[in-house]
């Protein structure tokens, strides 16, 4: 009754789409901001540790389930674990709704900055400007516009929509970011920016808050914990080397995050704006959206071009990530409800767009959705996923296939013991942080 399942066209299609999912708003500003706030080098070290220890094992687990079952998350989990485990797939879909709802609002800011910056330049009074564009019915309109683009690409299908967009956009994105980093390097004062970025307060390695942020960031940035990588892998054919794909994706994701910092910090220091990224009243989410435009506006003639290029890169990174978030929900509706892909994309896209409206009207709600959906749910989802693949799936090592049996023994050990322990602890701390946000919002 259903059309046969689509597949990536082979070659780099899957890899670029998965890198496109991983590289997003998370790399371009969340990473630099967190590094700046959490002791620079200490955060980066913990981030790498978290990526190796829990990120890569969970990514491989998602790949294995997805490719093995060749279904969307709920069905894939049911395939290996029976209906008792299906609620985990439901959590994934709920997380997809929550993240894409607010992610699209932030992406809408980026698109608006790109369009208006290229057309009119960046306003000098960036703080007041951000206040105007970050909340309200205008913000809703840009959010809806961004969702419409995402729906359009995803309804085109795996190969003609998602893969084609990734093949077109990802190399351009890489070139833009590297070009911007080279430009930033030529600015006077860039050195102070690098020094700040890589300054290291190693005592913070022992800080649980820093570890929690590093774990949350690793999961968010690698698109883990809600079945995104599972869904993308469900369109994969047998011959791919899954551990190698996982490694390639993690390295690209980390590389782009580091290079984005090499754009941001020299820029801020060269223009004397460095003090404004920390502890500003705009908080985590707004900081770079205020300070960077300020930098672009004080750059003179180059401002609209450099700023425009940065905001275009940010928008491109956001759209290839948003596609992957939507795909989880769309694949679920196509497999589970038997809907056509365009119908699934339009209906779920509209529902998610609706859910995002409160976030577009109130930045406090946006921050809460990020804390709960973008961190807590991912960590909890990753915890159960690790237990599921570690203990419930009969022979995950055989499912991975290939020749790397020895390393895969370690993988299973990590999934059984290390990943769940770390994620349980991190979920607890993240739960506390989310509760605090709720109290703040209510009080």
Establish if 25 lies at the interface with ligand TRP (CB under 6 A): yes
The whole-angstrom separation of Cα 129 and Cα 113 is: 10
Q: Which two tokens stand for residue 177?
A: 């970011």
Asked if 92 touches ligand TRP (CB under 6 A), the answer is no
Among 8, 16, 17, 27, interactor with ligand TRP by CB under 6 A: 27
Contact residue for ligand TRP among 8, 16, 19, 21 (CB under 6 A): 21
63 vs 183, beta carbon nearer ligand TRP: 63
Query: Measured from the CB of residue 95, what is the shortest distance to ligand TRP in angstroms?
Result: 7
Instruction: Report the alpha-carbon distance of residue 327 to residue 233 in Å, rounded.
Output: 12
Q: Which of 64, 82, 81, 77 is nearest to 396 (CA)?
A: 64
**Residue 40, helix vs strand vs coil:** strand
The whole-angstrom separation of Cα 229 and Cα 236 is 11
Q: Which stretch binds ligand TRP (CB under 6 A): 7-15, 17-25, 68-76, 167-175?
A: 17-25
Residue 157 falls in which region: left (phi positive, over 0), alpha (psi -120 to 50) or beta? left
Give dist(CA 74, CA 322) in Å, integer: 20
Residue 226 found at the interface with ligand TRP (CB under 6 A): yes
By CB under 6 A, which span of 25-33, 132-140, 195-203, 304-312 interacts with ligand TRP?
Answer: 25-33
Nearer to ligand TRP, 259 or 397 (CB): 259
Alpha carbons 92 and 114: distance in angstroms, whole number: 32
Instruction: Of 437, 287, 279, 284, give the one whose Cα is nearest residue 369.
Output: 437
Distance CA 120, CA 406 (A): 58
Smallest gap from residue 82 Cβ to ligand TRP (A): 25
Q: Which is nearer to ligand TRP, 192 or 258 (CB)?
A: 258
Stretch that binds ligand TRP, among 54-62, 64-72, 85-93, 317-325 (CB under 6 A): 317-325
Q: Could you tell me the two tokens for 373? A: 């959906």
Q: Which is nearer to ligand TRP, 18 or 271 (CB)?
A: 18
Residue selected from 155, 282, 297, 321 as contacting ligand TRP according to rule CB under 6 A:
321
By CB under 6 A, what part of segment 349-408 binds ligand TRP?
Answer: 378
Beta bridge partners of 40: 200
- Kindly tell me which of 134 and 320 has the beta carbon lying closer to ligand TRP: 320
In the complex, minimum distance from the CB of residue 26 to ligand TRP, in angstroms, rounded to a whole number? 2
Are 222 and 59 a contacting pair, CB within 8 Å? yes
Of 38 and 320, which has the nearer Cβ to ligand TRP?
A: 320
Cα 203 vs. chain centroid, distance in angstroms?
28
Question: Which of 16, 17, 18, 22 contacts ligand TRP by CB under 6 A?
Answer: 22
Answer yes or no whether residue 34 interacts with ligand TRP by CB under 6 A.
no
- What's the CA gap between 176 and 423, in Å, rounded? 35
Binding interface with ligand TRP (CB under 6 A): 21-22, 24-27, 99, 220-221, 223, 226, 228, 321, 324-325, 378
């Amino acid at each position: 009754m259903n059309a046969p399942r689509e597949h990536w066209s082979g070659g780099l299609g899957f890899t670029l789409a998965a890198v496109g999912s991983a590289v997003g708003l998370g790399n371009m500003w969340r990473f630099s901001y967190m590094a700046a706030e959490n002791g620079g080098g200490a955060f980066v070290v913990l981030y790498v540790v978290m990526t190796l220890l829990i990120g890569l094992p969970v990514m491989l687990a998602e790949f294995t389930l997805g490719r093995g079952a060749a279904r969307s998350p709920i069905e894939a989990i049911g395939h290996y674990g029976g209906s008792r485990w299906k609620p985990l797939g439901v959590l994934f879909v709920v997380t997809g709704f929550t993240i894409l709802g607010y992610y699209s609002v932030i992406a809408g800011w980026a698109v608006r900055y790109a369009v208006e910056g290229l057309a009119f330049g960046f306003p000098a009074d960036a703080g007041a400007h951000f206040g105007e564009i970050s909340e309200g019915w205008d913000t809703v309109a840009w959010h809806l516009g961004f969702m419409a683009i995402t729906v359009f690409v995803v309804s085109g299908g795996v190969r003609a929509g998602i893969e084609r967009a990734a093949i077109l956009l990802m190399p351009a994105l890489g070139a833009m970011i590297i070009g911007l980093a080279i430009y930033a390097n030529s600015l006077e004062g860039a050195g102070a920016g690098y020094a700040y970025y890589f300054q290291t307060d190693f005592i913070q390695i022992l800080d649980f808050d820093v570890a929690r942020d590093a774990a949350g960031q690793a999961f968010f940035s690698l698109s883990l914990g809600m079945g995104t990588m599972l869904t993308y892998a469900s369109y994969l054919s047998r011959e791919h080397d899954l551990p190698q794909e996982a490694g390639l994706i993690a390295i690209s994701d980390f590389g782009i995050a580091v290079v984005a910092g090499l754009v941001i910090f020299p820029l801020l220091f060269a223009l004397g704006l460095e003090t404004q990224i920390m502890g500003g009243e705009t908080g985590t989410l707004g900081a770079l959206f205020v300070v960077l435009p300020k930098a672009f506006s004080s750059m003179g003639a180059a401002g609209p071009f450099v700023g425009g290029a940065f905001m275009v890169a940010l928008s491109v990174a956001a759209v290839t990530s948003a596609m992957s978030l939507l795909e989880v929900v769309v694949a679920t509706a196509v497999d589970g409800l038997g809907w056509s892909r365009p119908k699934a994309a339009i209906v779920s896209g509209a529902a998610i767009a609706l859910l995002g409206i409160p976030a577009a009207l109130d930045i406090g709600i946006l921050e809460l959705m990020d804390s709960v959906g973008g961190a807590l749910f991912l960590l909890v989802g990753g915890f159960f996923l690790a237990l599921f693949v570690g203990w419930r799936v009969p022979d995950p090592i055989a499912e991975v296939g290939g020749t790397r049996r020895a390393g895969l023994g370690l993988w299973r050990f990590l999934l059984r013991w290390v990943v769940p322990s770390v994620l349980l602890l991190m979920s607890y701390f993240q739960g506390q942080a989310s509760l605090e946000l709720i109290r703040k919002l209510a009080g």
